[in-house]
Amino acid sequence: MASARKRARPEGDKEVEADCTFTIEYPNPGSKDNKAKKRRRTDSASPAPAPKVPFQPSPFAPHGRFLKDPSNNMDRHYRVSPAKEWTDMTRYNSFVLNGVKYFAEGFIFVANRSTIDQPRNPGQIVKNMDKSQEEWVARILEIRAKDEHHVYARVYWMYWPDELPERSRYNGKHVKGRQPYHGLHELIASNHMDIINVVSVTAPATVQQWDEGNEDEVQPALYWRQALDVRTMELSSLVERCICKQPENPDKLLINCSNKKCGVWLHADCLAHKTLLDTWQRLGPDKPHIGSAAAIKQETGADEPKRLLSPDEIGAASTAQASIDVKMEKENPTNDLPSSSTIRSKQKSDIITIPTASKKHRGRSKNLTNSETGEPFGFTAVVFEDQESAPVIEITDLRNIVGGESSWKESLKCLACGEDIQ
């Protein structure tokens, strides 16, 4: 028989540190221990009926799957101890605390040590707050009371991503804490059961399930899409996006390929990372970026002098212009992207310290960060999306190179099919 460990209760406040002597156990209905207890009772002179093992159907149905249990069964058998004291109490559908009515099957905020001195108005959501300092969130399964001073709720805990224990597993790998795909207001449903004294409840909570398959759905303030089965410590699967096969972070931009035959959703971080790699391969550590307009002017000499020049000045200007043309043509005669082998031969000592980008990692690798600028390769890239035009990426040059453009925009190409994104 497994015993559930209670979440640590707040300390230092008698009202919030409400006494609760009930604990949850998870018996196996078909175990030998239970059968032996039944036989002992039937052998007695006054046989008592074997206690039923309560069954809790899970209120959560994640859209993803568990590797160890494809049926997605998060239901649990449980037993409250002391059992008689629990069952002797009256069961209710709701309770009222500080003028606020709470219902079974509803979500609640529960005070912890960090939030005792931070009362919250009902329905108010505090944003940009460290999740380790926020209240716990739970879903009420059952309400029982001995009297108005002894009211208890049996709950399933919701986890903040930061609270994921190190034994958690996702896609067969161990994970701990917040992952790159977790949003700021994301919760994780679980079948971690507990019993709390309702005086530790601070406010009602609104939590909705997010269906990743519905691409037009807007996430509410608090939402969940993933579940944790505490019996196996396994997280349910999520929809894989982009060529990196990582889930979507709803707080970050996702770009849809306009090619109907492709239609892949791409992380803006992955698009920016690929652009930075290509820009470095093209320009290296010291070559300026020459835009198309500037290149045309240099090739045709489109700029006319502002005044008439003397013969001596004309000769000097022609010589200077010729030297500039030759220099630019030598460095980049066609304005095409140079090959990686050419860059490596010229800047081998610089390139050798930069590893090849791995498709298994999303976003930017820390190993690719320039120590002086704090940005990869001395460039930054930001993806802009406009409902009325094609998305573009803006690149900013932080290398302090003389000549060329310090900032420019480029169109985006799909990382999967290579077509321009319209």
Task: Output the pLDDT for position 358.
Answer: 31
Question: Is 134 within the bounds of a domain?
Answer: yes
Task: Output the pLDDT for position 179.
Answer: 94
Please indicate, yes or no, whether residues 281 and 318 belong to a single structural domain of this protein. no
pLDDT digits (tens, 9 = 90+) for 16-25: 446 788 999 9
Residue showing tokens 């005070």: 111
Residue showing tokens 């420019």: 408
Whether the Cβ atoms of residue 95 and residue 145 lie closer than 8 Å to each other? yes
Please indicate, yes or no, whether residues 66 and 162 belong to a single structural domain of this protein. yes
Please indicate, yes or no, whether residues 285 and 318 belong to a single structural domain of this protein. no
Question: Is 203 within the bounds of a domain?
Answer: yes
Please indicate, yes or no, whether residues 223 and 300 belong to a single structural domain of this protein. no
- Give the Cα separation of 381 and 394 in Å (integer): 6
Residue 157: alpha-carbon gap to chain centroid? 19
- Give the Cα separation of 110 and 120 in Å (integer): 11
**In the predicted model, is pLDDT for residue 124 greater than 50?**
no
User: Which residue type does 91 have?
Assistant: R
Return the exposure string of 28-46: e unless at least 16 CB atoms fall within 10 Å of the residue's CB, then b. Answer: eeeeeeeeeeeeeeeeeee
Q: Pick the closest to residue 267 from 246, 284, 291, 289 (CA basis).
A: 246
Q: Which of 334, 367, 402 is the last residue of a domain?
A: 334
Please indicate, yes or no, whether residues 209 and 309 belong to a single structural domain of this protein. no
Token pair, residue 7, equals: 């979440």
Residue 48's pLDDT band, with cuts at 50, 70 and 90, is low
Which has the minimum average pLDDT: 34-48, 177-191, 216-230, 377-391?
Answer: 34-48
Q: Which of 334, 358, 389 is the last residue of a domain?
A: 334
Question: Is 360 within the bounds of a domain?
Answer: yes
The region, left, alpha or beta by phi > 0 then psi within -120 to 50, assigned to residue 242 is left
pLDDT digits (tens, 9 = 90+) for 205-264: 999 999 887 766 667 689 999 999 999 999 999 999 999 999 999 999 889 999 999 999
- Give the Cα separation of 185 and 161 in Å (integer): 9
Task: Output the pLDDT for position 114.
Answer: 61
Q: Which residue has the higher pLDDT, 81 or 321?
A: 81
Q: What residues contact residue 171 under an 8 Å CB cut-off, 6+ apart?
A: 67, 237
Classify strands 186-190 and 223-229 as parallel, antiparallel or unpaired.
parallel
- Into how many domains does the chain fold? 3
Which has the minimum average pLDDT: 82-86, 158-162, 186-190, 366-370?
Answer: 366-370
Question: Is 247 within the bounds of a domain?
Answer: no
Question: Is 169 within the bounds of a domain?
Answer: yes
- Give the Cα separation of 335 and 282 in Å (integer): 10
**In the predicted model, is pLDDT for residue 112 greater than 70?**
yes
Please indicate, yes or no, whether residues 172 and 267 belong to a single structural domain of this protein. no
Please indicate, yes or no, whether residues 414 and 280 belong to a single structural domain of this protein. yes
Helix, coil or strand: residue 193: strand
Residue 376: which domain range?
253-289+340-422
Task: Output the pLDDT for position 264.
Answer: 92
Average pLDDT across the chain, whole number: 74
Q: Which residue has the higher pLDDT, 100 or 216?
A: 100
**In the predicted model, is pLDDT for residue 388 greater than 80?**
no
**In the predicted model, is pLDDT for residue 144 greater than 90?**
yes
Please indicate, yes or no, whether residues 322 and 234 belong to a single structural domain of this protein. no
Residue 414's pLDDT band, with cuts at 50, 70 and 90, is very high
Q: Which of 270, 302, 334 is the last residue of a domain?
A: 334
- Output the domain CATH number for residue 18: 2.30.30.490
Question: Is 244 within the bounds of a domain?
Answer: no
Please indicate, yes or no, whether residues 302 and 271 belong to a single structural domain of this protein. no
Task: Output the pLDDT for position 348.
Answer: 26
Question: Is 301 within the bounds of a domain?
Answer: yes
Question: Is 246 within the bounds of a domain?
Answer: no
Task: Output the pLDDT for position 82.
Answer: 94
Q: What CA–CA distances, in Å, run from 107 to 114, 228, 289, 294?
A: 20, 17, 55, 61
Residue 329's pLDDT band, with cuts at 50, 70 and 90, is very low
Whether the Cβ atoms of residue 383 and residue 272 lie closer than 8 Å to each other? yes
- Give the Cα separation of 151 and 101 in Å (integer): 13
Please indicate, yes or no, whether residues 136 and 208 belong to a single structural domain of this protein. yes
Q: Strand 2-3's sheet: what is its strand order?
A: 2-3, 23-26, 79-81
Please indicate, yes or no, whether residues 317 and 188 belong to a single structural domain of this protein. no
4 sits in which H/E element? none
Whether the Cβ atoms of residue 279 and residue 377 lie closer than 8 Å to each other? yes
Maximum average pLDDT range among 11-20, 29-38, 67-76: 67-76
pLDDT digits (tens, 9 = 90+) for 256-286: 999 999 999 999 999 999 999 898 888 888 8
Please indicate, yes or no, whether residues 344 and 387 belong to a single structural domain of this protein. yes
Please compute, for residue 386, the number of CA atoms within 13 A of its CA located in the half-sphere on the CB side.
9
